[in-house]
Amino acid sequence: MRIGAAPRAFRNRWYATRVTCCRCLSTLVLAEHEGGSIKASSLSAVEAAKFVAKHNSVSLLLAGSGPSLKQAAAHAASSHPSISQVLLAESDQFAYPLAEPWAKLVHLVQQKGSYSHIIAGSGSFGKNVLSRAAALLDVSPITDVIEISGSNLFVRPIYAGNALSTVRYTGSDPCMLTIRSTSFPLGAVSDSVSNDALIEKVDLSTLSEDDSLGKSRYISLSSQDTELPDLGNARIVVTGGRALKSAENFKMIEKLAEKLGAAVGATRAAVDAGFVPNELQVGQTGKIVAPELYMAFGVSGAIQHIAGMRDSKVIVAVNKDADAPIFQVADYGLVGDLFEIIPELLEKLPEKK
């Protein structure tokens, strides 16, 4: 029925029923795993599910093949009190997380489970997969959500985070979201976590009937080998901009990061110039970070970079130019030459505990 056509009293009753409900809310979380454990961003998606409804049963969907998948499933089952079920899709088709088989898998699982919500983290996996799955399910997804106010009201950043859009989902199930993990941090892990969730295998027999699968093949992944913490989860991030002038000089940033136990970040300009690989880029179209401490050296503060780090708790900026826009967001600024300031910091900073 068209809600707008009903008289007000009826509408109010209808909304009340919808909220107090016999309509069970249930969430499917699309999870990533690595080395036998669930990735932190996927656990943030589970955390986000709590905001959809207090009583929300969460099923975690995992796909892959081999022993690391089984390990990840075991980890998932006891990783978060909200998870009541772990669904396992085991097949060589999922050896690498390609969008085509994953979207088909989500379609399959949704048809069987009729979830009210489907959530994924808004990293490159979630962004790649969820929208394709939403098209198969004929619903509009809402991506990069930073706040959830109930089962169908969401806030998301637009214009590089310079405005926030509050969006209401008015469609049918499932309501599909990707969430920004920095906005849904995991709470303190309580020792009373407990009840292991049930692990169930997904019946994939109908999956191979789809002729769209097999048209995309994974070839390789090249990533940086580093001991430093992951940029997405680090407590401290040290970022360098183009003012570092060379990949060799950028090593100063790495040294400072090492001293602080921090992750290394970079601006688009620094990545474009070849100082560091793309996965270190912080910004509107790179990684979004919200560490406790963000230190930016030789970063001018373009709108698109700020978009990626504006939610950091404390921002420090070092730049030769006193008018650089970065100083408008920094809590503490130093106007000076980073080639003198970084060595001085390296000398004077306390060793990390």
Partner 1 sequence: MKILVAIKRVIDYAVKIRVKPDKSGVETSNVKMSMNPFCEIALEEALRLKESGRASEVVAVSIGPAQCAETLRTGLAMGADRAIHVEYPGTLYPLSVAKILRAIVDAEKPGLVILGKQAIDDDCNQTGQMIAGLLKWPQGTFASKVVLDEENKVATVDREVDGGLETLCLDLPAVITTDLRLNQPRYATLPNIMKAKSKVIKKVTPQDLNVQIRSDLEVVQVTEPPKRKAGVILSSVDELIDKLKNEAHVI
64 binds partner 1 (CB under 8 A): no
1 binds partner 1 (CB under 8 A): no
Token pair 């009583």 in the structure block, residue? 55
Give the interface size with partner 1 as a residue count (CB under 8 A). Answer: 90
- Of the candidate spans 17-25, 43-51, 81-89, 302-310, the one that interacts with partner 1 by CB under 8 A turns out to be 302-310
The DSSP call for residue 326 is: G
Site track 258-287 with partner 1 (rule: CB under 8 A), x = hit: --x-------x--xx----xxx----xx-x
163 binds partner 1 (CB under 8 A): yes
Nearer Cβ to partner 1 (131/249): 131
CA atoms within 13 A on the CB side of 231: 23
Least CB distance from residue 125 to partner 1, whole Å? 7
Cβ-contact 292, 313 below 8 angstroms: yes
- Nearest-CA neighbor of 145 among 162, 121, 129, 124? 121
> Phi and psi at residue 248, in whole multiples of 5°?
-65, -50
- Of the candidate spans 12-20, 80-88, 112-120, 139-147, the one that interacts with partner 1 by CB under 8 A turns out to be 139-147
DSSP, collapsed to helix, strand or coil, labels residue 309 as coil
Residue selected from 40, 99, 199, 228 as contacting partner 1 according to rule CB under 8 A: 99
Q: List the interface residues with partner 1, window 212-231 (CB under 8 A).
A: 212, 215-224
- Of the candidate spans 4-12, 21-29, 239-247, 306-314, the one that interacts with partner 1 by CB under 8 A turns out to be 306-314
- Of the candidate spans 74-82, 138-146, 192-200, 243-251, the one that interacts with partner 1 by CB under 8 A turns out to be 138-146
Residue selected from 56, 116, 143, 151 as contacting partner 1 according to rule CB under 8 A: 143
Nearer Cβ to partner 1 (82/93): 93
Cβ-contact 141, 135 below 8 angstroms: no
187 binds partner 1 (CB under 8 A): no
Residue selected from 53, 133, 197, 207 as contacting partner 1 according to rule CB under 8 A: 133
Tokens encoding 55: 């009583």
Q: List the interface residues with partner 1, window 307-346 (CB under 8 A).
A: 310, 313-316, 322, 327, 329-335, 341, 344-345
Q: ∠ at Cα 289 (160, 326), nearest 5°? A: 60
Cβ-contact 98, 86 below 8 angstroms: no
144 binds partner 1 (CB under 8 A): yes
- Nearest-CA neighbor of 151 among 51, 84, 83? 51
Least CB distance from residue 297 to partner 1, whole Å? 12
Nearer Cβ to partner 1 (29/295): 295
DSSP, collapsed to helix, strand or coil, labels residue 159 as helix
Cβ-contact 299, 239 below 8 angstroms: yes
What string of DSSP letters covers 262-303? -EEEE-HHHHHTTSS-GGGBBSTTSB----SEEEEES----H
Nearer Cβ to partner 1 (114/194): 114
Token pair 């191979």 in the structure block, residue? 208
DSSP, collapsed to helix, strand or coil, labels residue 248 as helix
d(CA 216, CA 222): 18
Nearer Cβ to partner 1 (48/77): 48
Nearer Cβ to partner 1 (188/322): 322
Containing 48, the helix (H) or strand (E) segment is helix 40-52
Nearer Cβ to partner 1 (161/265): 161
Nearer Cβ to partner 1 (1/322): 322
